[in-house]
A and B are shown apart, each in its own frame.
Chain A
Amino acid sequence: MSGLHWLTAAEAAEAIRARRVSPVELTQALLDRIERLDPKLNVFIRLDGAAAMEAAKAAEAEIAAGRPRGPLHGVPVGIKDIIDVAGLPTTCHSKILMDNIAAADAVCVARLRGAGAIVLGKLSTHEFAIGGPSFDLPWPPARNPWNTTHHPGGSSSGSGSGVAAGLFPMALGSDTGGSVRNPASACGIVGLKPTYGLVSRRGVFPLSFTLDHVGPLTRTVHDNALMLDAIAGHDQLDPSSAAVPPGHYAAGLERSVRGLRIGFVRHFHETDLPADPEVAAGLENVAATLHKLGADIWDIRLPALDEFGAVNRVILQSEAWAVHALWLRERPGDYGQLARRRLLGGAFISAGDYVQASRRRLEMIAAVENALQEVDVLLCASAMDPPSPIEDAAETERTYPRQARTPFNVTGHPALAMMAGLSSAGLPLSVQFVARYFAEAMLFQVARAWERAAGTDERHPPID
């Protein structure tokens, strides 16, 4: 079969189950593509091709023996390098942790393996999921497959770039201020930050304990739901883990949006952080399309983005300082400059400031909860600009904070970012949907309606 690299996870799993494709053939095709394209994209920090081929052979044998392991049996996956994979280094893309070998799989990785997925290796990130894109680290930053002179978003940069480029159909990322949804937006794919507590954080290097989420990046909404089915679930040893029943997220994807109430948060991109005109037009097009499909579009107001951002940063900086203080005192020169500058800030925030941010956070949660009593789903911007040129540090610094993702790290609501179209320069534009706590199925339903109408899952970057 040709074009194996553009098979979705669902298509690949079905083809493997039906024995039209072997996991060995699929894994080898992806390894060949990685060998050809990764020197341009810098997606991998550590490719573990030999282990992946061993796992593919084992999957082939299990399937041949009539022992399917799960819905992702034989499907390759990439793992952001702040997430533990047993026996491989978890470097966090930093000199600080160059030799940090993981003793065990993170819970999310173990669950993917339990569903039959094959781990290909560890993927580029911004240093410690906060400092990037950086050129002063032991590995170069990942690049955007739509245009390799551009930033693929971050911090889950390799996850976004690799999925979009067809190096693997699915990847794990983490999201503390938007780090799954940013690369999904910049690379034109689907990225989900689940409800806080739905996916275990155990085995994931922390950036900020109360803002960190683990989430899937895929080329389609269906694949995203399949991945969430695999990784969601209670973990008694993660103190933030929620005890909620499984969601069966891939089950209701094709339901109509007729009659759903969708709240359009226009002030985020119209007045809080005025968006690039093509981004704004893309958002209006998404709203108009969903309206044509039968959804009611309402205007919704939330607190302003700069205040969400301030609360996010005060909490993030304080918690990150607790993690990094020792290294910042003893080894400041082993960080790249961006991470060092961003992590040092926590030394200058008082305990009182942290508590104030946590109190304000509860009010912001109430504001979003109230909005979601009026509507079923929120629609808003993800990025305010198309991806920036990666070597233009000033433009990246200008555009990076121009986003509407941090509000939902502050509140913990599930939020999904995906392609809204392409800019006149051929770079992805994005949209974000947000739902009630643990209502990821509703989020997927709306996202799938947009995907089906716009054909965003059929668009791939021109890289070969």
Chain B
Amino acid sequence: MDKAIIELLARQAGLDKALREFPDDVTAAAEQASGWVANMQAPSEPRAEPWPPMKPGTGL
């Protein structure tokens, strides 16, 4: 993830103080998050529902 984008997203999330005091931690967190998103496959079925399923009652 580009450094300028990380800074922009961090400021948008209100992390100005973290950016000032712990810039390496902010960058490391952003890169790790970006890696997890990249490793995730989107469902192939466009109508796939999210979990938890939209049903009341007994859990699961």
Contact = CB atoms under 8 A, between A and B. Distances in A.
Contacts of B58: 242-244
Given A195-B60, A243-B59, A329-B17, A363 B43 contact: yes
A240 B29 CA distance: 29
A361 interface: yes
A337 interface: yes
Interface stretch (A19-27, A341-349, A445-453): A341-349
A63 interface: no
B33 to A, nearest CB: 4
Q: Which 4 A-B pairs have the closest CB atoms?
A: A242-B59, A197-B59, A358-B50, A344-B29
A357 B33 CA distance: 13
Interface residues of A, number: 47
Interface of A: 195-197, 210, 240-244, 306-307, 309-311, 313-314, 317, 325, 328-330, 332-333, 337, 340-349, 353, 355-363, 365, 412, 437
A316 to B, nearest CB: 9
B60 A311 contact: no
A44 B53 CA distance: 39
8 contacts: A195-B60, A307-B39, A313-B36, A328-B18, A353-B37, A359-B49, A363-B48, A412-B60
Main secondary structure of the interface of A (DSSP, over half): helix
A307 B59 contact: no
A346 B50 contact: no
Contacts of B60: 195-197, 242, 412, 437
B2 interface: no
Contacts of A333: 21-22
Contact of A358 (B15, B17, B22, B51): B51
B40 A359 contact: no
Given A341-B25, A347-B9, A356 B43 contact: yes
Given A240-B59, A310-B39, A362 B25 contact: no
A325 B6 CA distance: 16
A367 to B, nearest CB: 12
B42 interface: yes
